[in-house]
Structure 1
Amino acid sequence: MRKARLRLAVLATLVGTMPAAAAEDCAAIATRAAAAWRATTTVSGLAGIDAATAACVQKTLVRDLARDLGQPVGYKVGLTGKAMQEWLGVDHPVSGVLLAGMLRRPPGGWTIYPPLSPGAAKKKDDGPISANYAARPLVEADLIAVIGDAGVNQAKTPGEVLAHLSALYPFIELADLALPPDEKPSAASIAAVNVGARLGVLGEPIPIEPGFADRLATMTVSLTDGTGKVLAEAPGAAILGHPLNAVIWLAQDLAARGEALQPGQLVSLGSFGPPVQPVPGGTVTARYDGLSAAPVSLSVDFR
């Protein structure tokens, strides 16, 4: 009896000193994460989560959220900046899943948007978005690539990727860090909360022109406020040396899991420069200078 009590005491001590994520299974963490997503609160206790559990949590969380947000329409690639990777001690991005209900229309609606039904382009825009749309809202200048054919999975260079895309869209991602500010995130904990995917606004499609692959790397992407003040700015190469390298990485990562990119899927390439905080009543505009002869920009209003 004394030995049994001793074993229980030791076990209790060990459990008490384990990270919270290690003491929970995948289903329990995913349930907490889904509840937090719906309540726009953070998910605590994920600092010690391992990569395998994080992948399971993300998959379970996405399946749960799909009941409200519709089916997956593609992926987002995160941790694409060198500074963030160094801070977290990793040398690779992470990926999350985009659900149909996460995407918003720009003012005036879309002219063309291949992955959605033709009628979607005729609907009115969704209007201003609450500045408190998330537990820890982050506004990021991004791009969406639309997969044209399965050949993209064998692409080795940005130019080869471009040849297998059907469209590119300016994209302002409205992400949610979703982790408590007093807990340092890890690549695994960020992956577990679906890389912060919550909302995003797509602009008009960008015509793909000759020389586009080079210009994607050398363009300057900026976020400005309603007065024109620059809030963040970075070259296209800030994403993995070239923004289309995000597609190459994602295809390889999916292949390692026995999956592949499919025609019509969307890929959010990552954040150009640091994110900014939304301000009630404010406007954020993403500009892509040097990408096309015609100006490329997209704005989001907050209430």
Structure 2
Amino acid sequence: MNLPHWHRRLAAAFAGVILATAATAATAATAATAANCPERAAVAAHVAALAQGRPGPGFGLQLEAGQVDCARAALVRALPAVLGQPVGYKAAFTGEAVQGRFGMQGPAWGVMFDRHLLPSGASLPADFGAVPRYEPDLLVEVGSARLADATTPAEALDALRAIIPFIELPDLVLEGPANGYAIAAINTGFRGGVLGASIAVAEHREPLLAALADMRVVVRDAARDQALGQAAGESLMGHPLNAAIWLARALREAGIELRPGDLLSLGGFLPPARPEPGLQLEVHYRGLPGDPRLAVRFTGRGTPGSAGPGPES
């Protein structure tokens, strides 16, 4: 895929971040007991399942925070071979509905990669992964590491360059029912997504702050003219930029400082849903400057993938 200029630049700038993440993870792993970290064979098996589009066992259901962190760190070191270069970070379980569905008490985070980031209007098989899902999301592009020091959405906005509509296309991979901790351990299931046009913060500073909280994220199947759901911007932690603040602070606590150009995914406005062949998904960010929309079309079964029952089924 020919990535937009900003995305190519970001991928290049981000090349060293994976090393910092791995180094931080190595320090944490040293402090943890061996039992807290998955065996190399388990990590390799998960990466193989992701690459081949088949469900895998993951790292178990009864996981503690240290086990989740160590499993994610091990995967992050291995995932570039399958998912490409790291380009940012994602927050997961930032919405109350999603937290309740997966039994989470708060958010989790993972690393984003570039290989399966697509432009709006793209088509792909409905079974694009082992346990494929879609969810309406939102990205921000970091302008300053001061985001981690922000205490209000207004301060957070001052540390951002752009707001980017985004449909995440996660692959939950896990076979059978799973809770949020099991999903967090597999890098929150990140695989790729669909990018909309950037909304420059500098050009829309005044309306953006209120619009992000007040907007309605409306999801529909354009092929059938069928409503699939909607949510308010404030459904993400009271304001989407509260999710950005949480993510920046969580990364700092993990020893990772954000840099200008980093992408942050703020979490799903609705719980993840399974794509079906023929679905023409359209997400409308009603109330954001320009009332942006983005779309993706899901075609018949392809390779890889097996869209069987997933962890949230």
Give the shorter-chain TM-score range: 0.7 to 0.9
Count of equivalent residues: 261
8 Å Cα contact 1:284/1:301 also seen in 2: yes
CA pair 128-247 structure 1, distance change in 2 beyond 3 A: same
Asked if the contact 1:238–1:273 (Cα under 8 Å) also holds between the matched residues in 2, the reply is no
1-structure distance, mates of 2:287, 2:125: 31
Give distance in 1, aligned partners of 2:225 and 2:103. 35
Instruction: Report how far residue 23 of structure 1 moved.
Output: 9.6
2:270 & 2:94 partners in 1: Cα distance? 10
- 1:272 matched to 2:269? The reply is yes
The equivalent residue for 2:184 is: 191
Per-residue displacement from partner, 1:12-59 (whole Å, max 9, x unpaired)?
xxxxxxxxxx69834232112111111222232511233222222212
Q: Decide which of 36, 40, 44 is 1:31's aligned counterpart.
A: 44
Give 1:87 shift. Answer: 4.5
| Identity across the alignment (%) | 38
CA distance in 2 between counterparts of 1:50 and 1:218 reads: 36
Equivalent residue number for residue 283 of structure 2: 286
Describe the superposition over 1:85-132 as per-residue Cα deviations: whole angstroms up to 9, x where unpaired. Answer: 23444321000100121311224xxxxxxxxxxxxxxxxxxx411100
User: Structure 2: where are the runs of 5+ without partners?
Assistant: 1-34, 300-313
Aligned alpha-carbon RMSD (Å): 2.0
Please state if 1:298 is matched with 2:294. yes
Asked whether the 8 Å contact 2:143–2:261 carries over to 1, the reply is yes
Q: Does 1:223 align with 2:237?
A: no
Listed as ranges, the matches of 1:153-302 within 5 Å are 153-181=148-176, 183-187=177-181, 189-208=182-201, 209=204, 210-226=206-222, 227-292=224-289, 294-302=290-298
Is the contact made by 2:83 and 2:191 (CA closer than 8 Å) also made in structure 1? Answer: no
1:52 aligned to 2:66? yes
Query: Does structure 1 retain, via aligned residues, the 8 Å contact 2:91–2:243?
Result: yes
Local SS of the residue matching 2:77:
helix
Q: How does 1:44-193 map to 2 (within 5 A)?
A: 44=57, 46-107=60-121, 127-181=122-176, 183-187=177-181, 189-193=182-186
- Partner Cα distance (1:244, 1:23) in 2: 32
Q: How high is the TM-score relative to the length of structure 2? A: 0.78
> 1: CA distance between counterparts of 2:89 and 2:54?
23
Query: Whole-Å Cα distance in 1 between the matches of residues 225 and 234 of structure 2?
Result: 23
In 2: Cα distance, 1:61 partner to 1:23 partner: 14
Report if the CA contact (8 A) 1:158-1:245 is conserved: yes
Moved more, 144-153 or 85-94: 85-94
Please show how residues 8-27 of structure 1 align to structure 2 within 5 Å: 25-27=38-40
Cα distance in 2, alignment partners of residues 280 and 86 from structure 1 = 28
1:4 is aligned to none
The one-letter code of the counterpart of 1:158 is: P
Check 1:103–1:262 CA distance in 2 against 1; reply closer, same or farther (3 A cut). Answer: same
SS in 2 for 1:302: strand
Distance change >3 Å, CA 30–CA 206, structure 1 → 2? same
- Structure-2 separation of matches of 1:137 and 1:175: 6
Closer/same/farther in 2, CA of residues 217 and 262 from structure 1, 3 Å limit: same
Higher RCO by CA contacts (8 Å cutoff, separation 6 or greater): 2
The 2-side partners of 1:172 and 1:200 are apart by: 5
> Retained in 2: the 8 A contact 1:221–1:286?
yes
**Paired letter, 1:251:** A
Partner-residue secondary structure (3-state), 1:97: strand
In structure 2, what residue type is equivalent to 1:220?
R
Cα distance between partner residues in 2 of 1:243 and 1:51: 24
Q: Which amino acid aligns with 2:241?
A: L
